[in-house]
Chains A and B, each alone.
Chain A
Amino acid sequence: MDRDTRIAWLVQHAQRPRHTTPLPDADISVPGGNPGCGDLLTAYLKAAPGDNRVAAVSFVGTGCGLSQASASILAERMNRDHPSFAQVLDFTYEQMMDLVGRDVADARPRCATLALGTLKAAVKAVEMNRKLKAAGKTEAEIAELRRAISAAAEGTGLVLGEEAAAAARGIGV
């Protein structure tokens, strides 16, 4: 794909992003924001029952064209391939930038990878929920661990959870 064609493809995704409706039966929704540039996405993840595999993904958000286009492209891929959780977690930020297109993504890596980072957090949360439920943990205990996941994201370039929106807005003040 040459650069002009790629740009047109990205613009088309940015203007008419796919899979942008919240999934009513999602196992989890995780907001993620890029501190600094105002990009905000909430990943909705529905896991396949009894299988550590993606059943459906959507992203709802606002932000720059590349962040929203990347979410749309990633959601298309996820809803087509239904990868295992391990495959999502193994899918690297570098691969995500290749998927979007290096000639554009290299100039805005954080925007290009926000969707993937948020989705990975959602997958980790579902995976952990399942393990904890299997181990007999209560909902309250699981909620506490979710908060721990958000805390663990500190320093990864993303702000996950309830603080994401505020963080994404932060630098504009």
Chain B
Amino acid sequence: MTQTLLPVTDIAARGYAHPEVLVSTQWVAEHLTDPKVRLVESNEDILLYETGHIPGAVKVDWVADLNDPLIRDYVDRSRFEQLLRAKGINQDTTIVFYGDKNNWWATYAFWVFRLFGVDNLKVMDGGRLRWAEEGRPFETTAVRPAPGTITVRERDDSRIRAFRDRVETHVARHKPLVDVRSPEEYRGERLHMPEYPNEGALRGGHIPGARSIPWGRAINPDTHTFRPAEELRTIYQHENGLPLDDEIVVYCRIGERSSHTWFALTYLLGYNRVRNYDGSWTEWGNQVRALIEKP
């Protein structure tokens, strides 16, 4: 260790509904050579992994690896299985995600892996930044694991993913929606990207009835780790009234930041009917006659 850091409470003591999905940096350090553990780095910064990664970690890029190159959708079962095998993943492998941006992309990869029913998934609490601040090692050596043998199921979009028609019904039924974008995006003050139509929207605002809860609120900015359950409950339940047993839809711009909130609600607080609307604002804000609210 080279820096004095604010300590973090043990994951087991934070009151999470499913503490088993989070592991500490120390846990990862102790399992670097565990053949049953595969570390997967997933970042916003496409070159970050190449500048140094946790020893033994492989890279999964959300665009190049998880998105279908033609249709706006995720890869199919065959491609996904091929990807996982290339990363040395077997049926009994424990996969530990970590990445930049407070694990924003790590939880996105986690969510996509869950669409395919992959089990034994965990996230390294604090992400890449915490690992770095603790002075733990990085390496630039190329990681080329022996091909894995995992078999994955067909993707199941019915449980944790929401499509536009479901969201429209959700709005009509006045069910809870969470907009995890920045307040400026929520208010429709920031519109961008005609030159990048894949990420742009023609209209600004938010889906009617959505609560604005920026995704980063789930993170303690001093430690980069998830806030304890009590603090999360204050944010999501007391301040914003999200009922634990209700159907909830979360969204952002393309479904990445909202996967972070999906993760926090589902695994840390125990909500079991949360869906991520990955069409998000790039779909809703471009849709003819879609209802939009602007404060």
Contact = CB atoms under 8 A, between A and B. Distances in A.
Partners in one complex: yes
Interface of A: 7-8, 10-11, 14-15, 35-37, 64-66, 69, 93, 104, 106-111, 113, 117, 154-159, 167, 170-173
21 contacts: A11-B47, A11-B50, A14-B47, A36-B253, A37-B44, A64-B48, A66-B47, A104-B47, A107-B63, A111-B46, A117-B195, A155-B193, A156-B194, A157-B193, A157-B196, A157-B200, A159-B192, A167-B190, A171-B181, A171-B182, A173-B214
Contacts of A172: 101, 182, 216
B47 A65 contact: yes
A138 B23 CA distance: 62
Interface centre among A14, A36, A117 (most CB of B within 10 A): A36
Contacts of B51: 11, 14-15, 65
Interface in B59-103: 61, 63-64, 101
A170 B182 contact: yes
B230 interface: no
Nearest to A8: B50
Nearest to A171: B182
Contact of B191 (A8, A15, A66, A155): A155
Contacts of B193: 110, 155-157
Task: List the 8 shortest-distance A-B pairs measured between CB atoms, nearest first.
Answer: A65-B47, A64-B45, A107-B63, A157-B193, A170-B182, A171-B182, A11-B50, A157-B195
B199 interface: yes
A109 B180 CA distance: 23
Interface of B: 44-48, 50-51, 61, 63-64, 101, 181-185, 190-196, 198-200, 214, 216, 253, 257
A65 B51 CA distance: 9
B242 to A, nearest CB: 20
A171 B257 contact: yes
Interface centre among A159, A170, A171 (most CB of B within 10 A): A171
Given A8-B50, A106-B63, A110-B196, 6 more contacts: A36-B253, A37-B44, A65-B47, A155-B191, A170-B185, A171-B257
A69 B47 contact: yes
A97 to B, nearest CB: 11
A35 B192 contact: yes
A62 B199 CA distance: 22
Contact of A157 (B45, B61, B194): B194
A171 B185 contact: yes
B196 A107 contact: no
A110 B185 CA distance: 18
Contacts of A110: 193, 196, 199
A7 B195 contact: no
A153 B179 CA distance: 26
Nearest to B217: A173
A109 to B, nearest CB: 6
Interface centre among B45, B50, B101, B195 (most CB of A within 10 A): B45
Contacts of B182: 170-173
Given A157-B195, A171-B257, A10 B190 contact: no
A108 B63 contact: yes
Contacts of B61: 107
Given A107-B61, A155-B191, A173-B183, A66 B46 contact: yes
Contacts of B198: 109
A106 B63 CA distance: 9
A138 B275 CA distance: 57
Contacts of A108: 46, 63
B142 to A, nearest CB: 8
B44 A64 contact: yes
A157 B198 CA distance: 11
Contacts of A173: 182-183, 214, 216
Given A157-B192, A170-B182, A107 B46 contact: yes
Interface centre among B47, B63, B195, B196 (most CB of A within 10 A): B47
A117 B195 CA distance: 10
B52 to A, nearest CB: 10
Given A170-B184, A171-B181, A64 B190 contact: no
A116 to B, nearest CB: 11
Nearest to A166: B184
Nearest to A107: B63
